[in-house]
Amino acid sequence: MIQDRDVAAYREQGFLVVPDVLDAAELAAARAEVARILEGARGLAGHTDVYDLEPDHTPDAPRVRRIKTPHRHTPFFRELARLPKLVAILQRLLGTEAVRLHGSKINMKAAHGGAPVEWHQDWAFYPHTNDDLLAVGVMLDDCTEANGAMLVLPGTQTGPVYDHHADGYFCGAMDPSAVGLDFSRAVSCTGRAGAMSFHHVRAVHGSAQNLSDAPRALLLYEFAAADAWPLMGVPDLAEFDGRLVSGRPTITPRLERVPVRIPLPPAPHQGSIYENQTSAKHRYFGRKAA
């Protein structure tokens, strides 16, 4: 579904949007699965291993900020990560036949107040032995500037790894006033539902609060070249190899000269990027009461 010029644009800019990757039936099935999972948030009083909740969530009026690791909870999202047309794009962009799923999440960004995500690099959360990793944003709703489409700063995938600590602890967010980046250059990853964005693991990105009437659900899958090994360790080799979506496993990591910072000591607020970022000292994105 992509051409050489798309691969070249990804390498230069650090991101790519591919329209119409999911067809209408695949999209409808994914949305139905999300709706089914969301039903489980009714009655919850706090975050769980599956649900990260908006601050205004109540058990009777559920407001889910994120569905955590959907590939672990549902066969549907485990299988969707192996969709042959998706895997073919990943192999082109990562430049390898062997690709492993690293993680997944669904950021719901509900209408009328869905939470912003502060500027960050995924690389700060999960450094590896080489940086052939990317995240895929599967657009489950139309993503527009009005409903908080993801924003990427082009070219930052070849720059430094920025400080994501506050008061000596990892906080999962960059200090926008300290990094010397021109955030007005950021480009929105907009598209119709069914499109997918692909952003390099070192690309600086974030997104604004959704103050529009339209929800913006974005399913994020993170993928790695199979020879990129996580510097924070592999506790269970069978589980690790079980996440391969193509090619063969290897116990020979490829080591590259990549800039790295370790996300330790851990963030005081655990559970999701939203919780991690509550200890950031400086925010870029405004947050209004819904």
The CB-of-46 to ligand AKG minimum distance in angstroms stands at 20
Could you tell me which residues come within 8 angstroms of residue 7 by beta carbon, excluding any fewer than 6 positions away?
A: 92, 93
Backbone angles phi, psi at 191, to 5 degrees: 175, 165
8 contacts 15 by C-beta, under 8 angstroms: no
CB of 39 to ligand AKG, least distance (A): 22
Residues 222 and 122: their CA atoms lie apart, in Å, by 9
- Check if the beta carbon of residue 136 is closer than 8 Å to that of residue 102: no
The DSSP bridge partners found for residue 199 are 15, 135
**Distance in Å, CB of 207 to ligand AKG, minimum:** 3
Of the candidate residues 150, 174, 219, 245, the single one contacting ligand AKG (CB under 6 A)? 150
Query: Least distance in Å: CB of 220 to ligand AKG?
Result: 6
CB nearer to ligand AKG: give 96 or 210. Answer: 210
Q: Which residues have CB under 8 Å from 156's CB, separation 6+?
A: 14, 121, 181, 202, 203, 204
CB nearer to ligand AKG: give 151 or 245: 151
Kindly state the number of chain residues that form the binding site for ligand AKG, as judged by CB under 6 A.
8
Among 273, 276, 277, 280, binds ligand AKG (CB under 6 A): 273
Question: Per-residue x/- marks for ligand AKG, 93-122, CB under 6 A?
Answer: --------------x---------x-----
**Min separation Cβ 137 and ligand AKG, Å:** 7
Shortest CB 127 distance to ligand AKG, Å: 15
Q: In 175-207, which positions are buried (b, 16+ CB within 10 angstroms) versus exposed (e)?
A: bbeeeebeeeebbbbbbebbbbbbbbbbbbbbb
CB of 164 to ligand AKG, least distance (A): 12
- Which of positions 22-41 make contact with ligand AKG (CB under 6 A)? none
Return the number of the residue (68 or 227) whose C-beta is nearest ligand AKG.
Answer: 68
Please identify, using beta-carbon distances, which residue of 125 and 227 lies nearer to ligand AKG.
125
Site for ligand AKG in 211-250 (CB under 6 A): 218, 220
Alpha-carbon span 162 to 10, nearest angstrom: 21
3-state helix, strand, coil in the chain (%, to 5): 25, 20, 55
Task: Pick the closer one to ligand AKG by CB: 80 or 117.
Answer: 117
Contact 122, 154 (CB under 8 A): no
Residue 50 to residue 68: CA distance in whole angstroms: 5
Residue type, 166: A
Give ∠ CA 266-135-218 in degrees, rounded to 5: 95
Residues 153-212 that bind ligand AKG (CB under 6 A): 205, 207
Output 96 or 107, the one with its CB closest to ligand AKG: 107
Question: What are the residues binding ligand AKG (CB under 6 A)?
Answer: 107, 117, 150, 205, 207, 218, 220, 273
